[in-house]
Chains A and B, each alone.
Chain A
Amino acid sequence: MSVQPSVVQNSGQVLPAGHEPANLGDILERVLDRGIVIAGDIRVSLLDIELLTLKLRLVIASVDTARQIGIDWWEHDPWLSSRARPPVEPGPRDPEQVEAERRPRIARRAASREAWDDLA
C-alpha cells in the first residue's frame, strides 16, 4: 500500500488547471474554530457557531470528498438542496477501498439522519 503523503496546495496560483479547490471541511474547520476572536457589533454567539459546526459534522461529509465517493444525498435533502453540484468523473477504483467506503456510507447516512432529527 502506498504511504506517500499527498500534497494538496491551497493557493490557487500554483495549481495546475482543474485541480480541486481546498477541501471544504478543512476550510470550515479553520474559519469556524480558529482565527482570532474579535467582538464585532453583530453578535452571532459562539454557541450558535458550535451548534452549526456540530450539525455540519453530523449532517454532511466534506462536500468535495463526498462527491468523489458518490455521496450525493444532500442534493435531495431540503435543508441542503439550495445548490446543485456538477457531476464528477470517477477515477480508477481500488475494489478494497470501494468496499471499505460502501459500509460507512450507509451507516453515515442513517446516523446523520438520526442525529439531525435529534438536533432539529
Chain B
Amino acid sequence: MTSPEPAGTAAADPRTGAWLHGVVRDVEPGTLATTASLEGDPVRAVRAAGLTAVVSTVPLSAYGEEALRRNLEDLAWLERAARAHHAVVDALSRAGAVVPARLATVHHGDEGVARVLVERHDELAATLDRLDGREEWGVKGYAVPGAVPRAAAPAGGGGAGAAYLRRRRAQLTAREEGQRIAAEAAAAVHEALAGYAVAARRHAPQDRRLSGAATAMVVNGAYLVDRPRLKGFSALVDALADRHPEIRLELTGPWPPYSFVAEPTTEAAHAVREPA
C-alpha cells in the first residue's frame, strides 16, 4: 500500500527512523526537493490510503528514545529541531492544507508512518477538508498599565522628571484596576475575533518569561480564517486595537493550523467555537 519516494530507501536502514512533520493530501516533488529535513537533506513523502505523510529521515543515534529525550533537554538542539520542523510544516501549509504533527513524532520506519495514515485516515481526511483554504492567525494582547484609567492621570508642574514619577505612581495604584479592565478588554477582543473567524481557540497566556514582554499577556488567541476574508480579519484587529487602548494587540501569522487539528475535547477549557 505504501509507495515511498525513490529517496526513501534510507528509511529501511535499521539505524534510521522517520520523523513525521505533517500529513497532506499530496505533495509536489518540487516542494519535497526544496524543503530541508531535520538533517538538511530534502524531506520525503510516505503515501498510503490516499494521504501523504512528509517525513525526515533521522539517525536513531540522535533520535532514538534515550537520545531524543536527552537532546530535547538541550535548548539549542530543541530550538534547531523546532525551527526545522516548523519550517517544513510552514512550507507544506503554503502549498495546501496540512495537519501538523506534534514535535518529536518518530517511527522506526516508513511502515509505521503508513499504518498511521491507514488507521487514522477518516479523521485525517476530515481535518484536511476542514482546513482547506484557511490559515491560522495569532492575536496576542498585552496589558497597557499606563492607558487606564485615563481619568486618574494627574496634571501638574515640576518638569518632565516629576511628571514622570507622578505618572508612574498613578500607574502603580491603578494596577489592579488596570488588570481587571485589561481582562475585560481581552475577553471582548477574543469574542469579536472568534465571531469573525471560522474557529477560535483561546490559549493560556504565555508566561512573561517566555513572551519576553514588559507587561502581562492577557489574551493569546488563535483564529482560523478563510483566506479571502483575511483583509477583513486584519481590519477587525486594527479596529479592536483602536477601541481598546488598554491592551496592546499583536497579530502574528499566517501560521500553519497548529491550533485546529487536535480533538476539541483535549482543550475544552479554552475552546470557544467549533466550526459548523
Contacts and interface: CB of A to CB of B under 8 A. Distances in A.
Interface of A: 1, 3-11, 13, 21-38, 40-44, 48-49, 52, 56-66, 68-69, 71, 74, 79-80, 82-83, 96-97, 99-101, 104, 108, 111-112
A1 B101 contact: no
Given A13-B94, A25-B211, A28-B82, 19 more contacts: A1-B144, A6-B251, A29-B210, A34-B100, A34-B262, A35-B22, A37-B262, A40-B107, A41-B108, A42-B17, A42-B63, A43-B65, A48-B72, A61-B209, A65-B211, A71-B212, A82-B75, A96-B164, A100-B214
Contacts of A35: 22, 89, 100-103, 258, 261-262
Given A29-B203, A57-B207, A37 B102 contact: yes
Contacts, number: 201
A60 B211 CA distance: 9
A69 B89 CA distance: 30
Contacts of A83: 76
A7 B251 contact: yes
Interface in B64-116: 64-65, 68-69, 72-79, 82-83, 85-86, 89-90, 94, 99-108, 112, 116
B214 A101 contact: yes
A44 B68 contact: yes
B245 A57 contact: no
B10 interface: no
Given A30-B86, A31-B85, A82-B74, A42 B65 contact: yes
